[in-house]
Amino acid sequence: MMKLFDAHCHLQDPRILSKAPQLIAKAIDTGVVRFAVNGVSEKDWDLVKQMGENYPSVIPCFGLHPWYVADRTPNWFNTLKECLECTPSAAVGEIGLDKGSRGKEIDFTDQIDVFRQQLELAIEFKRPASIHCVRAFGDLLQIMKSMGPFPAGVILHSYLGSAEMVPEFAKLGSYFSFSGYLMSLEARKAKKMLGTVPSERILLESDAPDALPKSELDSLFMVDGDPSIPEELQGHGGNLSSNVGTSSNLSHAIRDASTLPKETLNHPANIQNVLSYVASFLDMTKEELAEISYNNAVHLFSFDGSKLLQEN
pLDDT digits over 124-144, tens only?
999 999 999 999 999 999 999
- Stated as kind and residue range, the H or E segment containing 38 is strand 32-38
- Stated as kind and residue range, the H or E segment containing 6 is strand 4-9
pLDDT digits over 146-183, tens only?
999 999 999 999 999 999 999 999 999 999 999 999 99
- Judged against a pLDDT cut of 90, whether residue 185 lies above it is answered with yes
Chain Cα centroid distance, residue 117: 21
- Judged against a pLDDT cut of 90, whether residue 257 lies above it is answered with no
The answer to whether 274 touches 179, Cβ cutoff 8 Å, is yes
The predicted model gives 283-300 an average pLDDT of 98
What pLDDT is recorded for position 251? 46
What pLDDT is recorded for position 242? 42
pLDDT digits over 80-97, tens only?
999 999 999 999 999 999
- Judged against a pLDDT cut of 60, whether residue 247 lies above it is answered with no
Distance in angstroms (rounded) separating the CA atoms of residues 101 and 229: 25
Report the percent of the chain where pLDDT is more than 70. Answer: 92
Q: Which of 124, 65, 64, 61 is nearest to 87 (CA)?
A: 61
Phi, psi of 285 (to 5 degrees): -80, 160
Give the pTM: 0.94
- Indicate the domain borders of the chain: 4-215+268-309
Known binding residues: 8, 10, 94, 132, 157, 207
Known binding residues for a divalent metal cation: 8, 10, 94, 132, 157, 207
pLDDT digits over 279-291, tens only?
999 999 999 999 9
State the pLDDT confidence band at 64, using cuts at 50, 70 and 90: very high
Does domain 4-215+268-309 fall under CATH 3.40.50.1100? My reply is: no
> What do you get for the CA distance between the two ends of the chain, in Å?
21
The answer to whether 5 touches 32, Cβ cutoff 8 Å, is yes
Q: What mean pLDDT value characterizes the chain?
A: 93
More confident residue, 85 or 241: 85
> In this structure, is the dihedral angle defined by the CA atoms of residues 77, 83, 86 and 87, taken in order, positive or negative?
negative
Distance in angstroms (rounded) separating the CA atoms of residues 145 and 246: 55
pLDDT digits over 205-232, tens only?
999 999 999 999 999 999 999 998 877 7
Using only the alpha carbons of the chain, give its radius of gyration.
Answer: 19
Q: How many CB atoms lie within 10 A of CB 54?
A: 12
> Angle CA(4)–CA(180)–CA(208) in degrees, nearest 5?
70
pLDDT digits over 28-48, tens only?
999 999 999 999 999 999 999
DSSP state of 2: -
